[in-house]
Amino acid sequence: MSKKILIVDDEAPIAELLADVLQDEGYNIRVARDGASALLEIIRRPPGLVLLDVAMPVMLGSDLLVYLRRHGFGDLPIIIMTAGIS
């Protein structure tokens, strides 16, 4: 796996925490705040891994996942993240 990770999350504190931890481990991190921005990043410079939030504005993480799988990014590793609601 490439050392490049794209974090896709509209919650800045969560994205920043993940980015800090992963950068400390030597990963090259990019952050997108919504699914549409993430799609542009993935097309422009495909990462080795995507950490993808589900509930976001503009384009849901689930919609982005379906789009990627149908349009040539079927081998891109994607980890779905979501916060539980109690």
What does the pLDDT look like over 13-38, one tens digit per residue?
A: 999 999 999 999 999 999 999 999 99
Mean model confidence pLDDT for the chain:
92
pLDDT above 70 (res 85): no
Calculate ∠ Cα 28-33-37, nearest 5°. 85
Average pLDDT over residues 36-56: 95
* Cβ-Cβ contacts under 8 Å for 10 (sequence gap 6 or more): 33, 34, 53, 55, 56, 57
Calculate ∠ Cα 72-77-81, nearest 5°. 120
Global model pTM greater than 0.85: yes
